[in-house]
Structure 1
Amino acid sequence: MSEDILATAATWAAEGEQVALATVVETWGSSPRPAGSMLAVTASGRMAGSVSGGCIEGAVADVAMQAMRDGKPQLLDFGISDERAWEVGLACGGKLKVFVEKLG
């Protein structure tokens, strides 16, 4: 699947879009997506892939937009307690780290 996301990101870049890529680099406990999962985001708001099954996608997309503006990569650290997990729609808690970078 990550190859499809990379191909999509490359196509968008070839079309002149600014693109950022978010990649799950580490997980602990129960996480919605395994390490290596990717989300591509364009400055115009197109998205492909997933790093969380939806629960943190909005926050990651916001950081991706910032990375496209300033060119600075970021390592995001998300930890969700078991109690909080139910509030965001996860069945159990877990932690994940997501690396966000501008392509090109």
Structure 2
Amino acid sequence: MTPDQDILAIAADWKNQGHEVAIATVTSTWGSSPRPAGSQLIVDGQGRMMGSVSGGCIEGAVVKEALDVMQDGKPRLLDFGITNEQAWEVGLACGGKLQVYIERLD
């Protein structure tokens, strides 16, 4: 079983336990990105999470959006980007862009 399959198995387990669950998936990257396309993060209605879509730098925003997706059921495609100049300001080594798709597990 691959790590992503483990994540999906955990998501299914959380759902079977009666929790709301959202899955965030990196759909594309440009330039430097800490996690490749296909990386996933799962979030439940209590804010518990597992996996990673960014190595930490955008995870807070993704978790907030995932909680909103669980509430309204509307999937979202999020764009995150940072220039090389901004990257140094926020403590990242380099710039890059990525898209993250978030959907509710029904």
TM range (shorter): over 0.9
**Pick aligned residue for 1:37 from 36, 39, 44:** 39
TM-score by length of 2: 0.95
* Partner Cα separation in structure 1 for residue 91 and residue 47 of structure 2: 24
Using the TM superposition, give the Cα deviation of residue 90 of structure 1 relative to its aligned residue in structure 2, in angstroms. 1.9
Structure 1 gaps of 5+ residues are none
Counterpart of 1:25, as a letter, is T
Moved over 4 A (4+): none
Using the TM superposition, give the Cα deviation of residue 77 of structure 1 relative to its aligned residue in structure 2, in angstroms. 0.4
Counterpart of 1:74, as a letter, is R
Which residues of 2 match residues 11-90 of structure 1 at below 5 A? Answer: 11-90=13-92
* Partner Cα separation in structure 2 for residue 66 and residue 87 of structure 1: 29
Counterpart of 2:4, as a letter, is S
1:19-51 per-residue CA deviation (whole Å, 9 max, x = no partner) reads: 000000000000010000000000111100000
Structure 2 gaps of 5+ residues are none
CA RMSD of aligned residues (A): 0.8
The percentage of counterpart residues that share the same residue type is 66
SS of the residue aligned with 1:41? strand
CA pair 92-73 structure 1, distance change in 2 beyond 3 A = same
Paired position in structure 2 for 1:91 = 93
Contact 1:79 1:94 in 2 (8 A): yes
